[in-house]
């Protein structure tokens, strides 16, 4: 079981040779800067990138299938990454897409937890993520 508070997994059709090199540094930044817990009821925010390709096209953007596991204290969400967002795109475009997707995923999770009446330090989580985003994209 992961001890990271914000995790970033990915499902890909294995033809994708452009996204892993950008996902791994983002994963490391999330692990080192998003230190929770942000809630007594949620220990992990598990974000799953669904990366489209020839074998499986995940033709959606944003969030789908937000699921919460109360006993194991995590919330997970699928984030769409259609192939047209990485095939033929610049590295900078891919990085910006990933950064936006992670923020969208966190916001979707926070909205779900708010609807469920779960107390979360959302401001601290989003501030920690903003630090990650700036470091990842190389801006201040």
Parse the chain into domains and list their residue ranges: 6-137
Token pair of 93 as six digits: 């475009």
Q: With bands split at pLDDT 50, 70 and 90, how would you rate the model's confidence at 54?
A: low
The string of pLDDT tens digits covering residues 118-136 is 999 999 999 999 999 999 9
What mean pLDDT is predicted for residues 11-39? Answer: 83
* Number of Cβ atoms within 10 Å of the Cβ of 107: 17
**According to the model, what pLDDT value does residue 1 have?**
38
For 18-31, write each residue's pLDDT tens digit. Answer: 677 788 999 999 99
CA angle 4, 72, 114 (to 5 degrees): 85
CA dist., res. 9 & res. 118, Å (int)? 24
- Where in the chain does DSSP place strands (E)? 6-11, 44-51, 62-69, 74-81
Closest CA to 8 of 51, 40, 39: 51
Q: Is the pTM of this model over 0.85?
A: yes
Q: Which fold has domain 6-137?
A: Collagenase (Catalytic Domain) (3.40.390)
Is the peptide bond prior to 37 cis by the omega test (within 30 degrees of 0)?
yes
Mean predicted lDDT score pLDDT of the chain? 87
- Classify 50 as helix, strand or coil: strand
């Amino acid at each position: 079981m992961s001890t990271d508070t914000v995790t970033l997994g990915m499902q890909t059709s294995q033809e994708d040779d452009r996204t892993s090199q950008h996902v791994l540094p983002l994963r490391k930044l999330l692990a080192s800067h998003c230190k929770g817990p942000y809630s007594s009821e949620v220990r992990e925010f598990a974000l799953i990138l669904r990366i489209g390709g020839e074998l499986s096209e995940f033709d959606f953007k944003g969030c789908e299938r937000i699921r919460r596991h109360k006993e194991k204290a995590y919330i997970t969400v699928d984030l769409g990454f259609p192939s047209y967002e990485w095939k033929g795109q610049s590295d900078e475009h891919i990085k910006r897409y990933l950064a936006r997707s992670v923020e969208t995923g966190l916001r979707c999770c926070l909205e779900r937890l708010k609807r469920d009446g779960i107390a979360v330090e959302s401001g601290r989580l989003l501030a920690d993520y903003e630090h990650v985003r700036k470091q990842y994209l190389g801006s201040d």
